[in-house]
Amino acid sequence: MQDRRGLLIILSSPSGAGKSTLAKRLMAWDEGLKFSVSATTRAPREGEEHGREYYFLEEKQFKDMVTDGQMLEHAHVFGNFYGSPAGPVKETIDAGRDVLFDVDWQGEIQIRNSDLAKHALSIFILPPSITELRRRLETRGQDDAAVINKRMQKSWDEISHWGSYDYVLVNDDLDATEARLKTIIEAERLRREQQPWLQNHVRQLQSEYEDTQ
């Protein structure tokens, strides 16, 4: 098989729609798929390593990278900065591996406006219904009613931006949604932009054609 360039695969969804489970299944499906490691200005927690869970940066270093265009996307959350360094992503896709991003709609827009936008594939996961979304959040058993209500409010804000994505899937059946995701990724890997070897191949065809004239 000819070499290809990797994709920036963006998965977004409201909390409870199944994005994390689908991301884990994709990583198990393709061992070459790399999960994007974010940078953050927060302090490392016990057991975390620089470059594994996060790239731990000083605030000035982080802001300098944003100013220099070295962050594909970034946000300020609960007093700390988070972002996706462009360098490691570019190295990975140039090596022919896909990079999986778990970002919200704001991150998706920033990546769409980056220098690597032509290699981006964005997919939004919708729940089958608001009732089912709340049920999933409640059955987790992780949050009280007040927290769940806040998550539901944030979920609707996320859902309202579905129209900016390349693909939108309704996760009414996890196995079926996983299968559709794989189909999308396999097709997108064949995009002309993802196969730089094609240009040389066409030149070779042209040369062979001219030799026969």
Residue 213's pLDDT is what?
82
Q: CB within 8 A of 2, min separation 6: which ones?
A: 195, 197, 198, 201
Per-residue pLDDT in tens (0 to 9) along the chain, 213 residues: 468 999 999 999 998 898 989 999 999 999 999 999 999 999 998 999 898 889 999 999 999 999 999 999 999 987 899 999 999 999 999 999 999 998 899 999 999 999 899 999 999 999 999 998 888 888 876 778 888 888 888 888 899 999 999 999 999 999 999 999 999 999 999 999 999 999 999 999 999 999 998
The dihedral formed by the CA atoms of 124, 129, 131 and 133, expressed in degrees to the nearest 10: -20
Residue 37 DSSP class:
P
Instruction: State the pLDDT at residue 72.
Output: 93
Q: Write the single-letter amino acid at 30.
A: D
What's the whole-model pTM score?
Answer: 0.85
Rounded to a whole number of angstroms, the distance between the first and last alpha carbons of the chain is 30
The per-residue pLDDT for 2 is 60
pLDDT value, residue 29: 96
DSSP letter, residue 103: -
